A and B are shown apart, each in its own frame.
Chain A
Amino acid sequence: SAVISQKPSRDICQRGTSLTIQCQVDSQVTMMFWYRQQPGQSLTLIATANQGSEATYESGFVIDKFPISRPNLTFSTLTVSNMSPEDSSIYLCSVDSSGSLRFFGPGTRLTVL
């Protein structure tokens, strides 16, 4: 299985600011995914990030609010821009690994005041 790390593990931010979350994988992967997990809700896919191309966003998520970078096959960032309290959530990085199984990082717990 892939080993995935995320930074920061948690943060408390002020309204109107931005936070960039980093995701690092210990092996090269084709596709990386960013999810949001809100209390009492299912995991919601924000976007899919392939190296060398624009991220593909799901309905309800836009690039201006959640810009994503994917500079290489082991790294990606998600920025939460112009934050509001509604953005308080856990943000999870996920990858497809060998055997086409889906693995998740430890998550970033974001609180917006």
Chain B
Amino acid sequence: QKEVEQDPGPLSVPEGAIVSLNCTYSNSAFQYFMWYRQYSRKGPELLMYTYSSGNKEDGRFTAQVDKSSKYISLFIRDSQPSDSATYLCAMSGQFLNRGGGADGLTFGKGTHLIIQP
């Protein structure tokens, strides 16, 4: 079982719909959870960052963490064609190891999202 599982999609929804993107993980030591958005031919852009369990909202985006189920979600409300991108989840047990060596950040493979106008 991989440490982080993410459905690659593609996920295609009509404009205005609520989008739900999800990742599951197996390592109970993960405490920091991030979502990145990556447009075609661009680098990943940090979208949301949460610590431990709970919800965090930023505009149309809500990140949700359920540590008991080892499940994280990103919700996009009022989806727009400009939201079409690949969304990557990432997580870490301790925040970004500064001792050298492995950075402790584990990524999902990304979900390709298409918002149809």
Contacts and interface: CB of A to CB of B under 8 A. Distances in A.
Does chain A bind chain B? Answer: yes
Contacts of A96: 96, 98
A46 B70 CA distance: 27
B36 to A, nearest CB: 8
A59 to B, nearest CB: 9
Interface in B20-72: 34, 36, 41-46, 49
Given A31-B98, A42-B4, A100-B96, A106 B42 contact: yes
Contacts of B44: 43, 92, 104
Contacts of B49: 101
B46 A1 contact: yes
A70 B23 CA distance: 34
B46 A102 contact: yes
Contact of B46 (A45, A53, A103): A103
A33 interface: yes
**How extensive is the interface on chain A, given as a class?**
20 to 34
A11 interface: no
Contacts of B4: 42
Nearest to A33: B103
B6 to A, nearest CB: 9
Interface of B: 4, 8, 34, 36, 41-46, 49, 88, 90, 95-96, 98, 100-103, 105-110
Interface of A: 1, 4, 6, 30-31, 33, 40-43, 45, 48, 50, 53, 56, 58, 92, 96, 100-107, 109
27 contacts: A1-B46, A30-B98, A31-B98, A31-B103, A40-B109, A42-B107, A42-B108, A43-B88, A43-B90, A45-B105, A48-B101, A48-B102, A50-B100, A53-B100, A56-B100, A58-B102, A92-B44, A100-B95, A100-B96, A102-B46, A102-B103, A102-B105, A103-B46, A104-B36, A104-B44, A104-B45, A107-B41
